[in-house]
Structure 1
Amino acid sequence: MSYIKTLMERRQNVWEQTKQLLDTAEARGGDQASLTAEEEATYQRLNTELDAIDARAKELHEAEQRTKDADEAFRALLDRSAEQKPSGPEGNTALRSFLTGETRSYEIRPEGRVDFRTLTKGSATAGGNTVQTTFYNRLMEYLIESSGLMSAGPTVLTTTSGEPIEIPIVTGLSSGALVPEGGQIPTSEPAFGKRTLGAYKYGATMKVSTELLTDTAVDLEGFLARQAGRALGNTFGAAAITGTGTNQPAGLVTSATAGVTGATGAVGVPTADNLIDLFYSVIAPYRNSSNAAWLAKDSTMAAIRKLKDDNGQYLWQPSLVAGTPETLLGKPVYTDPNIAGTGLGAKSVLFGDISTYYVRMAGGVRFERSDDFDFDHDLVTFRALLRADGVLADQTGAVKYFAGGAS
């Protein structure tokens, strides 16, 4: 624990150095972005160090979680042994049989109802300690980790099969009116559309040496879960952000509402006022939701770290607790590589209630293997398949974007 404390103290120190550097540039009479070449190099170095400390803290948090999961697994095995229960072809036994070629296919499904928000590698108090680590859960953790949108907490619908399902899309809100005594109450109904959620197929292949498969000392389940989860997460994550909705998911950026447009010719980088305006362009019920969050590209967040409000306070605040996201104007920040970077006309920052974006996942993740595909290299090929779709269910302004001004 002392090392973790030292790490977090170092993080706070680096952040203070970063603020001092920006304050010095501002004191010269320029804005926070007018750094000298030397100061810019120092700023980039400090940002890199912040990211490295974040990555190390995340590794420590994950290692602690794996230790807890392993302890729980050993306790379960000991309990099973004490009860003298026979070990049938279930769980990891069935998976290992599939991986080593004894069986030809293996379908991984969640056990019961799955709350995908608890599968993120966030704080233990958010549910991490209560989720049993299975191959399916580990795979989904890596899928979520690879997508900023999935980490931010969309609503996930799981179905056993892939037939089309229809959900209502809110396109307009109902309104009330002042009614005099004895007067007629006017009728006002919300406007609805309808969107069909399908099950588009995403796949990835992985090649594994025979030596790795037969080495029982290797965490084979963890290795394949990581490779498959990240491959599927990267592929579906891109569609969930920028998909057109035609023969692919309707991406969050595609369906979001315009919130703020930057000044003309301002190279597309949002100002502090732009972000504050974007924050308040989202109405209170969505803005105050526990699911409200920011989404942007890493490079965009690097620029946003420099911004202050009118009181000289930085909008961006670092997290001092391992496993919890940074905050911007008090709301968590998630980065997603599929969102456009800053630029003229680019939709580079999203804010709103991310739970209004619906992700549909049909069935489990299907794994299949081939011993013949790369026979001459003595490699076994695994194929992972996922069927999913997505759409923003509330299009009345639950999620809005900042776009860079015109040239």
Structure 2
Amino acid sequence: YLRRGDHRGIELKSFSGTSGPEGGFAVPQEIDALIGRTLKDISPIRSIATVVQTGSAGYRKLVTDGGTPSGWVSETAARPETDTPNFNEIAPPAGELYANPAASQAMLDDAVFDVEVWLSDEIAREFARSEGAAFVNGSGVNQPLGFLNSIVTDEPDDARDFSSLQYVASGSSGSFAGSDGEDALVDLVHALKPAYRQGASFVMNSSTLARIRKFKTADGAFLWQSSLAQGQPGTLLGYPVVEAEDMPDIAADSLSIAFGNFRAGYLIAERSATSILRDPFTNKPFVHFYATKRVGGQVMNSEAIKLMQFSAS
């Protein structure tokens, strides 16, 4: 090639080239990494949940509950059999997330136009908006099952089914109970087992947070504590708050506040690569970049997440 400029028999690897009869090509590693970083900044649930990369469409995870009981015996006493932990299989419902941005051929031909920045930004925005909403409110049909769409009950951990989440009532329908709204937040925190509180955080939208930031203690101090360090979030009852705009506003029987260790409680399973199909033929003179990514999600440990329901009981 260097001597004669002959392209025949040479495999081309470039953004405009193809790699296979389907006309698709893999995202270069630099672009894929940039998309991942942007997703983490935009989608708050992704930043606090457990994310696993899978190499196939299906993913299964075993979770035990109940532990292995033990007992005390004398030196010569018989050792009766103890109970065995129960295994639960987690299979996060998945769907194919896609984006289909387009650019004119003239724009692509312009040497000033940076295709890499444009493509990563457009795909990241669309993927973040869609998956962020699904991790909270997803139906589980061709998309992740959001934690707010799990079965909810007021039963404690030792009496509740493995797949259901416990809620704590706020004490009043569509509101906090009187002037002691902070009491319900304290109950919510302590409904979570101590083992999960380390690394736990509140999740709510901006409207709910604005209301809580106005709470004051009896001596006039704000319940919300602003951070004194740059880049560190403020805290509520000593725990950070993650603002997720897909959480519902406060209303009758709404599940507007979540508290828990989402690293232990919610699982996101995704394919390790984003695939892109370059389509310059369907809608000339525009070139479409059809991007797909398979993402699944489901509550992994129902003991690690608690919800606040704005109801009297």
Corresponding residue of 1:227: 122
Corresponding residue of 1:340: 248
Contact 2:62–2:89 at 8 Å: present in 1 too? yes
Corresponding residue of 2:51: 156
What is the deviation of 1:394?
1.3
Shift in alpha-carbon separation, 1:181–1:312, aligned structure 2, 3 A: farther
Shift in alpha-carbon separation, 1:197–1:354, aligned structure 2, 3 A: same
Corresponding residue of 1:317: 225
Relative to its length, the structure with more helix (as a share) is: 1
Which whole-Å deviations, capped at 9, do the CAs of 1:7-58 have from their partners, x for residues lacking one? xxxxxxxxxxxxxxxxxxxxxxxxxxxxxxxxxxxxxxxxxxxxxxxxxxxx
What is the deviation of 1:346?
0.6
Corresponding residue of 2:89: 194
Corresponding residue of 1:212: 107
Shift in alpha-carbon separation, 1:266–1:206, aligned structure 2, 3 A: closer
Shift in alpha-carbon separation, 1:391–1:141, aligned structure 2, 3 A: same
Distance 2:174 2:136 in 1: 25
Shift in alpha-carbon separation, 1:313–1:107, aligned structure 2, 3 A: farther
Corresponding residue of 2:42: 146
Which whole-Å deviations, capped at 9, do the CAs of 1:79-106 have from their partners, x for residues lacking one? xxxxxxxxx966xxx33x359xxx9432
What is the deviation of 1:313?
3.4
What amino acid does structure 1 have at the position aligned with 2:61?
I
What is the deviation of 1:314?
2.4
Shift in alpha-carbon separation, 1:338–1:185, aligned structure 2, 3 A: farther
Q: Could you say what secondary structure the match of 2:184 adopts? A: helix
- Superposition pairs for residues 33-182 of structure 1, below 5 Å? 94-95=14-15, 97-98=16-17, 104-108=23-27, 134-151=30-47, 153-162=48-57, 164-170=58-64, 172-174=65-67, 176=69, 179=72, 181=74
What is the deviation of 1:402?
0.5
What amino acid does structure 2 have at the position aligned with 1:167?
K
Q: Could you say what secondary structure the match of 1:364 adopts? A: coil
Report the TM-score when normalising by structure 1.
0.62
Corresponding residue of 1:278: 188
Corresponding residue of 1:354: 262
Distance 2:124 2:243 in 1: 18
Corresponding residue of 2:132: 237
Shift in alpha-carbon separation, 1:238–1:216, aligned structure 2, 3 A: same
Distance 2:277 2:46 in 1: 25
Which whole-Å deviations, capped at 9, do the CAs of 1:140-174 have from their partners, x for residues lacking one? 122223322112x2111112232x2211244x433
The correspondence for 2:276, drawn from 356, 367, 392, is 367
What is the deviation of 1:387?
0.2
What is the deviation of 1:353?
0.8
Contact 1:243–1:249 at 8 Å: present in 2 too? yes
Distance 2:118 2:226 in 1: 31
| Alignment partner of 1:401 is 2:296 | no
Distance 1:392 1:89 in 2: 44
Which whole-Å deviations, capped at 9, do the CAs of 1:267-303 have from their partners, x for residues lacking one? 3689211111111111111001x3x211111111111
What amino acid does structure 2 have at the position aligned with 1:370?
D
- Superposition pairs for residues 25-40 of structure 1, below 5 Å? none
Question: Greater RCO between the two (CA within 8 Å, min separation 6)?
Answer: 2
Q: Could you say what secondary structure the match of 2:272 adopts? A: strand
Distance 1:322 1:104 in 2: 47
Q: Could you say what secondary structure the match of 2:251 adopts? A: coil
| Alignment partner of 1:388 is 2:300 | no
Q: Could you say what secondary structure the match of 1:168 adopts? A: strand
Shift in alpha-carbon separation, 1:312–1:219, aligned structure 2, 3 A: farther
Distance 1:89 1:282 in 2: 56
Q: Number of residues paired by the alignment? A: 282
Deviates more, 1:365-374 or 1:339-348: 365-374
What is the deviation of 1:239?
1.6
Shift in alpha-carbon separation, 1:263–1:245, aligned structure 2, 3 A: same
Shift in alpha-carbon separation, 1:177–1:308, aligned structure 2, 3 A: farther
Distance 1:327 1:236 in 2: 26
Segments of 5+ residues of structure 1 without an aligned counterpart are 1-87, 111-133
Q: Percent same amino acid at aligned positions?
A: 26
What is the deviation of 1:342?
0.9
Kindly report the root-mean-square deviation, in angstroms, between the aligned alpha carbons of the 2 structures: 2.9
Distance 1:221 1:135 in 2: 7
